[in-house]
Chain A
Amino acid sequence: MKGYIRPDGRIGIRNHIAVIYTVECARHVADSIARKAEDAHLFGFPGCFEDRYGSRMLRELATHPNVAGAVVVRLGCESTNVNALVAAIAESGRPVELIAIQEAGGTLASIERGVEAVRRIGRHIAAAKPVAIDWSDLTVGVECGGSDATSGLAANPATGWAVDRIIERGAAVIFSELPELLGCQHYLSTRVADEATRQLLHEGLRRARRLGQRLNAFAISGGNVEGGLTTIEEKSLGALCKAGTKPIRALLKTAEKPSAGAGLYLLDKVGLVEDALVTHYEENDSDGLVALLASGAQLLLFTTGRGSVVGSVVAPVIKICGNPLTSRRMRDNIDLDAGGIIAGTRSVAESGAELVERIRRVADGEPTKAETLGHREYYIPYKPSRACDLG
């Protein structure tokens, strides 16, 4: 596999240029700049007011291992701390340029400057030579969305099988969605590496349970029962199995990175739920993927049953589908059809081995379906800071 070493020592598997807007008013200009260059990826934060979570996500994505340099586009009068963002990018050693629309003289002048800036950074990137990388250089994030009755039988077990193998080869793997695991706390307790992690896990599950009560969510639904799921334990175990069977080495807070090397990590995004401003721990799938990127994942695995089309800004997303009908109907979007497990033509291990090989090729540069289709979703909402504990 090949990768790119950044000046801060982080290793990327893609060479993207981030074009970042720091308020909704600057989005169109930033978008117009990003559309002019294939490697430019657009993201930003729409709010005008400084927000700890939003600013942190911009910084983490701008200095993501897959990002080689950045162009920051601001309007000029937003209250967001743009200078701190630019300084953080510069400090990471990545080339960064700032366009202030009010100073540059409006839309056309700003786009022109931005396009030039992207071109300059592009030339800088072209000089960077790829280096050989190993599984131990990889951090992989796992997420699920659009689940159905096949998820816990095919896509999730196959992904879990692959997760176990890549951890054995040296990769770090992050999974999250703590509230989806409320039903299997006893089993989870047997999966943690040590007592300190066990305490953090129980504390996180308590917050998740409280959040579920406040939001009236995370219970087993009528649709689940119709699909054959009987208990919350069963539903949770079906979601958990996409994370394989290795011990959980540590719990991570939002934007915290795995620091103990190879192994499985659980990202706890549930905030302090006693606060009046309770927010959902994850508003949609892209919100969840952004959090995995912020914890350093260079590559994302996404399991589905009913089907999903989302990709991600900055990182490749491999989609694994266990529903044979969905895999056929949405073949443009599904990278790995695990439906053979349902149809009886393939075992979990066979589909899992196929996924390991796909991960290797994608890490080596092969584009995923979402990358080819231009899916570069991101979602960075306001999260009242006290409801989102940053690491």
Chain B
Amino acid sequence: MKLSRRGTYIASKRSIKLNAADNVSTLLEEATAGDMVAIVLEDREQASIAALERIPFGHKMATEPIDTGAFVVKYGAAIGKSLRPIRPGEQVHVHNLAGLQGEDGE
């Protein structure tokens, strides 16, 4: 728990970014809407952003704006394309992300 400027406590949750090039981070504990989520890359906390909705443990949160059709990047590689604009703090899952399989005809 961290103290906000107004003196109230804000829940701080942790997430891990697996590669500096990623635009999502993975929650290490469940966050609810409004929770501040720390984004940890290697052992450094990069930033904290507010979760816009409930995001369970092991699920992904956007750490920057992602346009429709843009690559979603995790482990430094594309894991799919976004199906609609995604705001930082939103969950990224099957409702707004689709894989690339089949795009190359294989």
Contact = CB atoms under 8 A, between A and B. Distances in A.
Contact of B74 (A237, A347, A349, A350): A237
A42 B71 CA distance: 51
Contact of A344 (B28, B79, B94): B28
Q: How many interface residues does chain A have, given as a range?
A: 20 to 34
B57 A228 contact: yes
State which size class the interface on B falls in.
Answer: 20 to 34
B81 to A, nearest CB: 10
B16 interface: yes
Given A209-B106, A228-B56, A350-B43, A184 B77 contact: yes
B63 to A, nearest CB: 15
A82 interface: no
Interface string A299-334: 000000000000000000000000000000000000
Interface in A204-223: 206, 209
Given A227-B58, A233-B100, A234-B74, A153 B80 contact: no
Given A225-B94, A228-B59, A153 B26 contact: yes
Nearest to A185: B106
Contacts of B59: 228
Contacts of A227: 58
A341 B101 contact: no
B10 interface: no
Most A C-beta atoms less than 10 A away, residue of B27, B40, B75, B78: B75
A341 B16 contact: yes
A289 B42 CA distance: 31
Interface string B41-62: 0110000000000001111100
Given A183-B101, A209-B106, A231 B58 contact: no
Contacts of B26: 153, 228
B36 interface: no
B28 A233 contact: no
Nearest to B40: A344
B57 A230 contact: no
B80 A234 contact: yes
A131 to B, nearest CB: 38
A347 B42 contact: yes
Interface string A1-45: 000000000000000000000000000000000000000000000
Interface in B1-59: 14, 16, 18, 26-28, 40, 42-43, 56-59
Contacts of A206: 106
Interface of A: 149-150, 152-153, 157, 183-187, 206, 209, 225, 227-228, 230-234, 237-238, 240-241, 341-344, 347-350
25 contacts: A149-B58, A153-B28, A157-B18, A183-B101, A185-B106, A186-B77, A186-B100, A186-B104, A225-B94, A228-B26, A228-B27, A230-B60, A230-B80, A230-B92, A230-B97, A230-B99, A232-B99, A232-B101, A233-B101, A234-B74, A234-B79, A238-B75, A241-B75, A347-B43, A348-B42
Given A228-B58, A231-B101, A234-B79, 14 more contacts: A153-B18, A157-B18, A183-B101, A225-B93, A228-B57, A228-B59, A230-B79, A231-B79, A231-B80, A234-B99, A237-B74, A241-B18, A342-B28, A343-B28
